[in-house]
Structure 1
Amino acid sequence: MIHYPRHHTTRYMKFTALTLAIALLMTACGGGKKRDKQEASTPTKTEQVGKVHFFLETSASMGGYLNGGTTFKDVVSDVVTKANQLRPVSLNTISGKTQPVSGDVNTFVAQMATTPLATGKSSELHKIFREVGERAKGNDVAIFVSDCILSFPDADIKRDPEVNRNNASSTLKNSIYDQFATFSKQGIGATVLAYTSPFNGTYYTYQNQKQKLAGEQRPFYIWIIGKQSLVGTFAGQLLESLSTTPAKRLDFGAAGALKAYDLLFSANKSGDWRAERNNVTEIEMGRKAKPVEFAIAVNLNALPGYAQEETYLQKNLNVAVDNGAVKLVKVQRKAALNTDRMSDREQKLLSQNTHVLTFHVDNLFDETATVTLKLPVRFDSWYTNWSTMDDRTATGRQGKTFALEHLMTGVREAYQTSGNEFAAMSIKLSKN
C-alpha cells in the first residue's frame, strides 16, 4: 500500500468535494438534453394613477338631469365618491371654460341636489375635450360627464337652424377626430360609459328649440380619459365599486400594436422542443413524435377591455405560418394557470403578463418557419342605435343622442388610423 503524506490526502479530499459540488450545481441548474436558455426578466413596477380630475358639463342642456330625483344625480354622485376612494379627486364644472369647484366631494354632491349648476351656453365638445385632455397628462386621469350632443355655437344656429344637421358628419365629426387624434399620438385613450336618466326640464333640439320634458329618459355619458395603460385598470376598479352598471361601454385604445411576448418553457407544453431566445427550437416532428404545443404569455393591459376577453381573442386573433400549420388552441387569463410546478423564473415571466395563448403545431414543411400573430382593431358599434339626426319629437329622440354616431365615428377613426392592429407579433420555429 502506498502511503501519501497527510497534506496530500487533505488536498485530494477538498478537490473531490469541490468537483462533486460543481457537478451537483450544474445538474440543479437544468442539465440534460432539453435545457432552456430563456432568461427571466425582472417584473416591471405597476403604474399608479396620480390624481383624478372630474369635469361636469354645465351647459343649459344639462339642467334637466339635475331636477328632481334622477338616475343622473345618483350615478354622478356615486362616481365622484367612489373615484375619490381610489385616488384624490379635483372637482370642476365646464361649459365655455373650466371652473374649479370649491369644497370637498360631499359638498359637491350636496350642490348637485340644491344649487342650479347647468346655466352655461351651448358647448363645443371638441373644445371641452381639449381642456379635459390637458388634465389627463402623465399619470393623471380625467372623468368627464356630458350629454354629448354635438353642436355649433348658439350664434351659428341662430343664423342657420340646419347647421348642426347639415354639418355633423363633416365639420363636427372632424373636429372631434382632430382632437382625439392628438390624444392618440400622446398615448391617451378613453373609456365611455353610457347611461340613461329621467330628464325634467328644458331640452334644446338641434335647432335650439326649447321643449319641456317631464321624466323622459335621456342618455348621458361618462368619459374616463388618460394614459391607456392606466385607463383600463382604473375604469375596471371604478366599475366594480359603482352601484349602477352602465347600459353600454366603449373603449378606445391608444397603445399601438403590441409586439412583446414571453415564451413559456413548461406551461401547457407538449412534445419535445426547447425555448431559446423567445423562439421554439429543436422541435421533434414525425410519426413517432409527440404532438407539439407551446404557450406564450402576453400583457394585454393596454388594450380596450373587450379586446382582453378570452372569447374575443379566440375569435379575432389571426395566426399565419409561412412554412407550416399552427393553430391557436387555448386562451387563458394568467390566473387560470396552475403554477405549482413552474420554476421561479417562469413564474416571474408570467407575473408581468395578463394572458396565456397556447398553440398546436400541426406540421412544419421546412426546417424553419415563422408564426405571425395579428389582432386587428375592432370597435363596438352600439352607438349607432343610440344616435338620431332629428331630435325635435319624442319619437325621434327616444333613448337617442343627436349626432352621437358622428361623434363616436370621429373618435374611432382617430384611433384606427394610429395602427390597425391591437397586436402584431412573430415567433420563430425550427426543427431538431
Structure 2
Amino acid sequence: MTLHTRNSLFFLLIALTVTSCGGGKKRATKDEVTAPTKAESIGNIHFFLETSASMGGYLKGGTTFKDVVADVVTKANQIKPVSLYTISGKPEPVSGDINTFVAQMATTPLATGKSSELHQIFKQVGEKAKGNNVAVFVSDCILSFPDADIKRNPEVNRNDASSTLKNSIYDQFATFNKQGIGATVLAYTSPFNGTYYTYQNQKQALKGEARPFYVWIIGKQSLIGPFTQQLLESLSTTPAKRLDFGAAGALKQYDLFFGLNKSGEWRAERNNLINIEMGRKAKPIEFAIGLNLAGLPDYAQAEAYLQKNLATAVDNGEIKLVKVQRKAAVETGRMSDREQKLLSQNTHVLTFRVSTLFADEATMTLKLPVRFDSWYIDWSTMDDRSAEGRRNKTFALEHLMTGVREAYQTNGNEFASMSIKLSK
C-alpha cells in the first residue's frame, strides 16, 4: 500500500467517525420543533370599585349592579387571587377577603366619596396594570369637572365635555398605549335607587330607574384578551355591549408557509413567492401565511372581521383572500416539523389565490383597517336632567369613548400593514 493510499484511508476513517458521532448539523427532534411558545401569564389582578357619591344608587336594594360586581370579583378570583380597592380620590385597599367585600356591598354604605375626575382615576388604576398585571375598574363613567368648577359655571360639563374632558381622557389613554396597555369595556344596565347628580350637580331621587355602568379591564393586550374571554365564559350575566381598545401598532410581520394550503407551482424564498407558473395549463396559485394577531382586540381577531375588512391588492395582477383559519382549526397531520413550528408562532392562517399576474414581478399588499364599534353613541346623552334624557344613557359617554378611541388609532388607522413580493 502506498503512502498516498494509506493517507486517503486515514482521512476517510476520520470523516466517517465524525459523521457517525453527529458532527454535522443536528436535526431537531419533532418535540423540539413543534413546542409552542410559552403563553404569558397574569401577574396580579387588581379590582377597583368607584365609590363616589353618584354610585350610591347602584348599591341600594336588589340591583343588577351588585350581582354583576359580586360575580366579577368572585370569578376573577378563581383565575388569580384578586386585590380589592375602592376609589373616588385615591385607591383605598379593602380589608378582608372576597366574601367579606361582597357582604359589605349589601350591608355597608360604600359610595360616600367626593366626585373625582375620571382621567385621574384611570391614571391610578393604570398604575396597577403595568407589567403582567391586570386591573378591573367598575364605574358609571360620567365625565365631569370638579364640584367647584360646576358651582362657578353650571354649564361647564356640557360646554366643555367635547374639548377639555375628552382630551384629558385621550391624554391618559395615549400614555397607556405607549406603555403597551390596552382596555376592554363591558357595558351593563341596572336599577338605580338613590340620589342621581345631573351634569349641573342637581340632586334627583331615582327609584328603580335603569342606569348604565361599565366594567373596564385594563392591561397588556395579549393578557386581557384571554382573561376577558375566560371571565365572560364564567359570568352569570352577559354584558349588553362590549368594546375593545388595542395597544398594538400596525402589524408588519408574517410567516409564509411553503406547503400548507399550497396549490400550483411556486417556491418560497425569504417570505416571498418566486418561480410562479401562470397560464391556462397551470393550476391556480394558492398560498398561506401565518399571522400573530394576539396583540389585537378580540373582535379584530374574529374570522368574520378579517374576511370582511382585510384589504388585499396586487399592483400587477388579481388576488383574493379565500380562507381564514384559527390556528386550532388547521389540520397539522401532513405538515412538516418546520411548518408546525411556524404555525405555533401564529394565531391565524390566511390563504390567498392569485388568478392573474400581468407582469413578471408584482407586489401584494395587505391592510387591516381599524374599526371601532359605535354603540356608545346611542348610550350617550348631553342632557340628563330628565328621565327621558338620561334613561339607559350616560352623560357625555360619547366624548369619553371618543377620547379613548383616538388614543388607540394607529398611524393610518391600521391594525396590520404588510407586503409580499410575487415573481414568475
Q: TM-score, normalised to structure 1's length? A: 0.90
Cα deviation digits, residues 278-303 of structure 1 (max 9, x gap): 21222111111111100111111111
Contact 1:184-1:418 at 8 Å conserved across structures: no
Structure 1 counterpart of 2:397: 404
Structure 2 counterpart of 1:168: 161
* AA of the residue aligned to 1:389: M
Moved more, 304-313 or 139-148: 304-313
Question: d(CA) in 2 for partners of 1:306 and 1:352?
Answer: 20
SS of the equivalent of 2:378 reads: helix
Quote the RMSD (CA, aligned, Å). 2.2
Question: d(CA) in 2 for partners of 1:123 and 1:217?
Answer: 23
Question: d(CA) in 1 for partners of 2:60 and 2:160?
Answer: 32
For residues 95 and 418 of structure 1, do their structure 2 counterparts lie closer, same or farther at Cα, with a shift above 3 Å needed?
A: farther
For residues 274 and 309 of structure 1, do their structure 2 counterparts lie closer, same or farther at Cα, with a shift above 3 Å needed?
A: same
* AA of the residue aligned to 1:156: D
Moved more, 241-250 or 416-425: 416-425
Q: Which runs of 5+ in 1 are unaligned?
A: 1-7, 23-28, 30-39
Question: d(CA) in 2 for partners of 1:232 and 1:71?
Answer: 25
Answering whether residue 236 of structure 2 is matched by residue 243 of structure 1, we say: yes
Structure 1 counterpart of 2:23: none
Structure 1 counterpart of 2:127: 134
Structure 2 counterpart of 1:149: 142
Shift of 1:123: 1.6
* AA of the residue aligned to 1:186: Q
Structure 2 counterpart of 1:378: 371
Cα deviation digits, residues 81-102 of structure 1 (max 9, x gap): 1111111211000001110111
* AA of the residue aligned to 1:81: T
Question: d(CA) in 2 for partners of 1:214 and 1:266?
Answer: 65
- Residue among 178, 185, 188 paired with 2:181: 188
Shift of 1:353: 1.2
Question: d(CA) in 2 for partners of 1:67 and 1:194?
Answer: 20
Cα deviation digits, residues 152-197 of structure 1 (max 9, x gap): 1111111111111111111111110111111111111100000001
Structure 2 counterpart of 1:87: 80
Shift of 1:250: 0.2
Question: d(CA) in 1 for partners of 2:411 and 2:186?
Answer: 23
Answering whether residue 315 of structure 2 is matched by residue 322 of structure 1, we say: yes
Structure 1 counterpart of 2:247: 254
Which structure 2 residues correspond to residues 13-412 of structure 1 after superposition, within 5 A?
A: 43-412=36-405
Shift of 1:323: 2.1
Contact 2:51-2:86 at 8 Å conserved across structures: yes
Q: Which runs of 5+ in 2 are unaligned?
A: 1-5, 21-26, 28-32
Contact 1:224-1:235 at 8 Å conserved across structures: yes
SS of the equivalent of 2:228 reads: helix
SS of the equivalent of 2:256 reads: strand
Q: State the aligned residue count.
A: 404
* AA of the residue aligned to 1:227: K
* AA of the residue aligned to 1:312: Y
SS of the equivalent of 1:330 reads: strand
SS of the equivalent of 1:92 reads: strand
Contact 2:37-2:344 at 8 Å conserved across structures: no
Cα deviation digits, residues 266-323 of structure 1 (max 9, x gap): 2211111122222122211111111110011111111111111111111111112122
SS of the equivalent of 2:205 reads: strand
Question: d(CA) in 2 for partners of 1:262 and 1:43?
Answer: 15
* AA of the residue aligned to 2:398: E
Question: d(CA) in 2 for partners of 1:79 and 1:414?
Answer: 27
Question: d(CA) in 2 for partners of 1:267 and 1:394?
Answer: 59
Quote the sequence identity (%): 81
Q: TM-score, normalised to structure 2's length? A: 0.91
Shift of 1:41: 9.1
Contact 1:256-1:419 at 8 Å conserved across structures: no
Contact 1:233-1:301 at 8 Å conserved across structures: no
Structure 2 counterpart of 1:35: none
Shift of 1:107: 1.1
Moved more, 54-63 or 257-266: 257-266
Contact 1:320-1:372 at 8 Å conserved across structures: yes
Contact 2:250-2:410 at 8 Å conserved across structures: no
Moved more, 338-347 or 57-66: 338-347
Contact 2:34-2:340 at 8 Å conserved across structures: no
Moved more, 381-390 or 270-279: 270-279
SS of the equivalent of 1:283 reads: coil
